Amino acid sequence: MKQFKNIRWSFLVLMLTLNFGCDQISKKIVRNEISDYEHISIIKDRFTLLKVENTGAFLSLGDQMPYIFRLIILTGLPLLFLGYGLYFLFFKKNLPSTMQIALCFLIGGGIGNLYDRIVHGSVTDFMHMDFYIFQTGVFNFADISIMIGIGILLIQSIKSKTVTQETD
């Protein structure tokens, strides 16, 4: 039983580290190689690199708030939620595997952005997509990790509701 716990913990730490590591390596490369607001076309003008330092939250929400509010809302609250998420991930027994993986993506991405905010004072965003009909905001790998985690939880939720409805 103890060996299973060690394997589980090792897998979770590996998943968290990969999410955080990929995000931080990509941001370091972007910080060193791309100038602020430099526009680099990767796939025509559909996928571009555009380095932006985001002092707000998702899509720069809150970047105009006074510093103390940004500190509390964009650093303090995420720190509490990520701490609880890590506790939940490692100490909650009988979590489904899909939920554990989803939480690793969510927490790993969250830690990546929080680390940037604490160490650099802003989050480095650098990817942008234009799908003709709509465009994304500028985002990073931590944001992708968070969205993958949300997607996994959403799919799991829909599947569990479908199974529940079929058994009724």
- Selecting among 23, 36, 63, 125, the annotated active-site residue is 125
- Selecting among 45, 63, 116, 143, the annotated active-site residue is 143
Q: How confident is the model at residue 164 (pLDDT cuts 50, 70, 90)?
A: low
* pLDDT tens digits for range 13-59: 999 999 999 999 999 999 999 998 888 999 988 999 999 998 876 65
Instruction: State yes or no: is 143 an active-site residue.
Output: yes
Residue 166 reports pLDDT greater than 70: no
Q: What predicted TM-score, i.e. pTM, was given to this entire model? A: 0.87
CA distance linking residue 124 with residue 54, whole number of Å: 6
Provide CB contacts within 8 A for 49, sequence distance 6+: 30, 34, 38, 39, 40, 42, 126, 127, 128
CA distance linking residue 87 with residue 12, whole number of Å: 12
